[in-house]
């Protein structure tokens, strides 16, 4: 194995001091508890078209715009306006409300020093229990982006999973900062030219089903998803 390839698969630590030859360096990383607010459901039908009333004429409308906030919209007093309000209330009552989700936000600031454009990064936040080092908990993530050489990018992802719900009996007596040893690690990098580099002990086959699951639905504005 060449020295160049060895340098490409180095484990990238959480330390802010980065080695220049690392293809993608984690400059810093952290996590904290957070709440993901439930998204509002689809808008209720708007109801019938508003009836044309005198209050909607240009002069009356502009005069109403100059009034202080809190005034009553004349359209709400029409039959159509009241019908639309009732319809909206009925639709809202029938729409199930999603609950807020309590979870954790994992963040890693990465820098691309590979000389290429990065398209996909597999990374993880690893927790090793201080009282029992054999207990290792891994939170793995998949991120898709266009990260050009020399650029930095903050990767953030929400997960329902925290460091661990199971700790050694000695651990609860220790401060949170001492319960676990933490590190952020880049496991696999996929470049725009088709090249792939990954950490030697990490296997894509171990997460293949998770990757298929999280990529089965179209992505929105998010960059990363939890595996």
The domain spans of the chain are 3-38+101-226, 54-94
When pLDDT is averaged across residues 132-143 and rounded to a whole number, the result is: 92
Q: pLDDT, tens digit, for every residue of 72-87?
A: 666 566 666 666 666 7
Q: Which residue has the tokens 């982006």?
A: 145
Are the CB atoms for 64 and 71 separated by under 8 Å?
A: yes
Continuous H helices in the chain? 3-8, 58-65, 79-94, 176-179, 208-214
Q: If you average pLDDT over every residue of the chain, what do you get?
A: 76
The pTM score is: 0.64
Half-sphere exposure of 27 (CA within 13 A, CB side): 11
At the top level of CATH, the class of 3-38+101-226 is mainly beta
When pLDDT is averaged across residues 132-149 and rounded to a whole number, the result is: 93
Nearest by Cα to 120 from 94, 153, 89? 153
Q: pLDDT, tens digit, for every residue of 175-222?
A: 555 788 899 999 999 999 999 999 999 999 999 999 999 999 998 888
């Amino acid at each position: 194995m060449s020295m160049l390839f060895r340098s490409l698969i180095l484990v990238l630590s959480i330390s802010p001091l980065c080695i220049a030859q690392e293809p993608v360096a984690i400059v810093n990383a952290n996590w904290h508890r957070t709440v993901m607010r439930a998204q509002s459901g689809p808008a209720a039908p708007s109801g019938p078209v508003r009836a044309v009333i005198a209050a909607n004429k240009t002069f009356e409308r502009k005069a109403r715009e100059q009034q202080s906030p809190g005034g009553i919209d004349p359209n709400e007093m029409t039959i159509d306006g009241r019908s639309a309000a009732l319809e909206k209330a009925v639709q809202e009552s029938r729409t199930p409300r999603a609950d807020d989700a309590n979870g954790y936000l994992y963040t890693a600031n990465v820098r691309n020093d590979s000389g290429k454009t990065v398209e996909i990064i597999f990374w993880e936040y690893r927790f090793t229990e201080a009282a029992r080092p054999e207990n290792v908990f891994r939170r793995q993530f998949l991120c898709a982006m266009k990260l050009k050489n020399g650029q930095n990018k903050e990767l953030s992802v929400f997960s329902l999973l925290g460091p661990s719900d199971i700790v050694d009996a000695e651990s609860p007596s220790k401060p949170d900062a001492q319960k676990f040893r933490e590190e952020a690690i880049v496991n696999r990098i996929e470049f725009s030219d088709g090249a792939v580099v990954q950490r030697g002990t990490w296997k894509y086959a171990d997460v293949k089903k998770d990757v298929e699951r999280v990529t089965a639905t179209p992505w929105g504005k998010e960059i990363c998803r939890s595996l």
